[in-house]
Chain A
Amino acid sequence: MKKEVESGEKNPIESFLRMDRIPHIWCPGCGIGIVVTSFVDALRKSDIDLDKVCVVSGIGCTGRVAGYLKLDSFHTTHGRAIPFATGLKLANPELKVVVFSGDGDLIAIGGNHFIHAARRNMDLVIICVNNFNYAMTGGQLGPTTPLEANLSTAPYGNFEYPFNLPYLAEACGATYVARWTALHLRRLSKSIQEALSHKGFSFIEVITPCVTLYARRNRLGSGLNLLKYYHDNSEIQHGADTKTLDISFQGKLIVGKFVEKEKPTFLDAMNQRLSRVLGDKYQLYGRINDDRD
């Protein structure tokens, strides 16, 4: 890994990106790039074999992250990134599988997979870029849109209650839960590092600006204005009760690390249970993937 960082004059992040695909498709002022930068920073600082890191995305603006990272990367179908990642991880437990996707993809169309992967404590890192709307399709109402926010399918303002994602994740069984904004670059990077070394279902929500759609439609100004909103309204409360983390329109943003606990992962629990019941007959599972050698 060191070698990659030291290679030449170029920006150290370049060796983590598919530079032949740059420029990317994200709008000026979009926050997804910031999250990718934090992620790369976390990879650089982690003692992790990059060959074993897989990134799985669903569909949407954040769904395109997989396509820009120079890792084994999978751009799957809408909502199915988590079960796809589950298959990858279980078929080769040596992999470190990161799901990088948006709020709509992970929590609306993919919500069922999200809650069940959390319940199983599946050993995955989930980075959820929450920009409060469906941006790829032109700014529609999403599962995290704050009440009263105006979107193309909520033209008179949203009246649906949004999800409080850290609370949802914790209630379903996630063993690492954090929330940051796109302003908290270093703290986010540290959280991702922690998640990468955490065994179990790790969930990081990142509140990010969608300037072109969410901000413009709600007259919230430029990307800079949104970062200023994050700056003025976020409050770090590590260990906060996740019940208290609702987000209201342009309201206070409580951020921090809320949950970090040890619990057997799906595979640990499987190995424990089957060993106990089947004894020596059980073929301990973990390294089945060397049949090609």
Chain B
Amino acid sequence: MKKITADPKGVLTGVHYLDGDFAIAEGALAAGCRFFAGYPITPSTEVAERFAERIPLIGGVFIQMEDELGSIAAVIGASWAGVKAMTVTSGPGFSLMMENIGLAAMMEVPCVIANVQRGGPSTGLPTLPGQGDMMQVRWGSHGDYEIIALSPNSPQECFDLTIEAFNLSEMYRVPVFIMTDECVGHMHERVVIPPPEEIELIERKWYEGPKDKYLPYKPDKDMIPFMVKAGDGYRFHTTGLTHDERGYPVINAECQNILVPRLVEKIKKNADKIIKFEEEETDTAEVIVISYGITSRVAIKAVQEAREKGMKVGTLRLITVWPFPEKRVKELAEKVKAFIVPEINYGQIVLEVERCAGGKASVIGVPHCGGGVHDPDIIFNAIKEALK
């Protein structure tokens, strides 16, 4: 795995006033993304617009595809040509991408998909926020596989985590998701873009051995196979079918039993290295609020009020949502009375918290069906209730 610094052409060094969507586009360009295929859908379209405007000055391709099925397929194709590639979508578009997200996981193709979440199901609330795709991102394509999902809560983090998403996808050869929401996507704040030499990028592990010995799915010690580019003379094959180390289809349970565990374990075994979260006052807390994305910034108001009233409240903010920080939540469950889980859905990540709490701490979901953010008082009341 090679570490390099960012190509200055893509880095808009300086201090900017950007919304989350634009910051995702700038993060992608800084990360060296030179291929974008997308389809307009509110509230993610601004990412595509920004990329379309900037890429001709940097050197790369933007293409508006005929639909989201085509967008994600083109991204996977571009990645096989050795170019960092991404797409962006929301709600219905995300649903349309599911099949090929499975293909990306199966073919182990580095790529980044941003989902600026809106209210669902179906067409739902195009212009209003939601966090209802948090389980879909984990489980949405059929079969067993793992992905990585990050959840920024500010435009600055949209920039930073997009770079991180590319690094993770290159490192683990896995689709990585930026699960933001309409609020953060359309929120403007100061975004500091560092000079290129301060942006560290990771490139996928390129195979460098003899051409006739190349096996596209022979895992290295870290379980991740080496990659080559299309057009470099390796004459390799890859397929969405269950395949052996040569990339050839093998339609039986034995092969499946070698391939699928590796797709899952290459992420699970590295979970500690991948997972990022922020915690505050968890040492002394009796109750911990677990949140992510915009909801973490809404919850903070409730937490502050509770602390002012002398309640012992901690916070755990998930920056990486998938893989889920299982270990940490299990540790905390031993110490606290309750977890409060506000999220802009009818209860998704709360299920994961419940699983990890294992009955040792009570888990109180604070659902919100989408279309806005929580009233902080509702979160405050849940905290108060939990402490009774």
Interface residues in B309-352 by Cβ distance below 8 A to A read none
> Are the CB atoms of B240 and A90 closer together than 8 Å?
no
> Are the CB atoms of A288 and B230 closer together than 8 Å?
no
> Are the CB atoms of B78 and A87 closer together than 8 Å?
yes
Tell me if A85 is interfacial: C-beta within 8 Å of chain B. Answer: yes
Tell me if B144 is interfacial: C-beta within 8 Å of chain A. Answer: no
Contact partner of A18 among B37, B73, B237, CB < 8 A?
A: B237
CB distance from A195 to the nearest CB of B (A): 19
Interface residues in B100-138 by Cβ distance below 8 A to A read 100, 103
Chain A neighbourhood of B83, CB < 8 A: 91-92, 288-289
Residue of A nearest to B58 (CB): A283
CA distance A90 to B245 in the complex (A): 28
Interface size class of A (residues with CB under 8 A): 35 or more
> Are the CB atoms of A77 and B234 closer together than 8 Å?
no
A86-B63, A92-B83 known; A75 and B249 CB under 8 Å?
yes
CA distance A72 to B229 in the complex (A): 9
> Are the CB atoms of A91 and B59 closer together than 8 Å?
no
> Are the CB atoms of B69 and A79 closer together than 8 Å?
yes
> Are the CB atoms of A113 and B66 closer together than 8 Å?
yes
Residue-by-residue, is B217-242 near A (CB-CB < 8 Å gives 1, otherwise 0)? 00000000000011111111111110
CA distance A142 to B314 in the complex (A): 60
CA distance A278 to B58 in the complex (A): 12
> Are the CB atoms of A77 and B61 closer together than 8 Å?
no
CB distance from B281 to the nearest CB of A (A): 46
Q: How many residues of B contact A (CB 8 A)?
A: 49
Tell me if B74 is interfacial: C-beta within 8 Å of chain A. Answer: yes
Chain A neighbourhood of B77, CB < 8 A: 56, 74, 83-89, 91
> Are the CB atoms of B237 and A66 closer together than 8 Å?
yes
Residue-by-residue, is B41-83 near A (CB-CB < 8 Å gives 1, otherwise 0)? 0000000000000001111110101110111011111111111
Chain A neighbourhood of B66, CB < 8 A: 83, 112-113, 115-116
Residue of A nearest to B232 (CB): A51
CB distance from B387 to the nearest CB of A (A): 51
Chain A neighbourhood of B37, CB < 8 A: 83, 86-87
Tell me if B85 is interfacial: C-beta within 8 Å of chain A. Answer: yes
> Are the CB atoms of A76 and B240 closer together than 8 Å?
yes
Tell me if A80 is interfacial: C-beta within 8 Å of chain B. Answer: yes
Tell me if B265 is interfacial: C-beta within 8 Å of chain A. Answer: no
Looking at chain A's contact residues, the main secondary structure is helix
Interface residues in A77-103 by Cβ distance below 8 A to B read 77, 79-80, 82-92, 94-95
CA distance A211 to B319 in the complex (A): 57
> Are the CB atoms of B82 and A71 closer together than 8 Å?
no
Chain A neighbourhood of B145, CB < 8 A: none
Tell me if B374 is interfacial: C-beta within 8 Å of chain A. Answer: no
Chain B neighbourhood of A52, CB < 8 A: 231
> Are the CB atoms of A90 and B63 closer together than 8 Å?
yes
> Are the CB atoms of B65 and A83 closer together than 8 Å?
yes
> Are the CB atoms of B57 and A278 closer together than 8 Å?
yes
> Are the CB atoms of A75 and B235 closer together than 8 Å?
no
Tell me if A292 is interfacial: C-beta within 8 Å of chain B. Answer: yes
Tell me if B277 is interfacial: C-beta within 8 Å of chain A. Answer: no
> Are the CB atoms of B70 and A51 closer together than 8 Å?
no
> Are the CB atoms of A91 and B241 closer together than 8 Å?
no
Contact partner of A84 among B67, B76, B237, CB < 8 A?
A: B76
Residue of A nearest to B80 (CB): A88
CB distance from B385 to the nearest CB of A (A): 48
CB distance from B51 to the nearest CB of A (A): 14
Tell me if A281 is interfacial: C-beta within 8 Å of chain B. Answer: yes
CA distance A91 to B37 in the complex (A): 11
Residue of B nearest to A75 (CB): B239
Tell me if B139 is interfacial: C-beta within 8 Å of chain A. Answer: no
Chain B neighbourhood of A82, CB < 8 A: 70
Tell me if A161 is interfacial: C-beta within 8 Å of chain B. Answer: no
* Further pairs besides A75-B238, A77-B73: 11, Cβ < 8 Å: A51-B231, A72-B235, A75-B241, A87-B78, A91-B77, A92-B81, A113-B73, A116-B66, A283-B59, A285-B59, A289-B81
29 contacts across the A-B interface (CB closer than 8 A): A20-B246, A54-B231, A71-B235, A74-B237, A77-B73, A77-B99, A77-B103, A77-B240, A80-B73, A83-B37, A83-B65, A83-B66, A83-B77, A84-B77, A86-B74, A87-B76, A87-B79, A87-B81, A91-B77, A94-B231, A95-B230, A112-B66, A113-B70, A116-B65, A281-B56, A281-B57, A285-B56, A285-B60, A289-B229
Interface residues of chain A, those whose CB is within 8 Å of chain B, are 18, 20-21, 50-52, 54, 56, 66-67, 70-77, 79-80, 82-92, 94-95, 112-113, 115-116, 266, 270, 274, 278, 281-283, 285, 288-289, 292
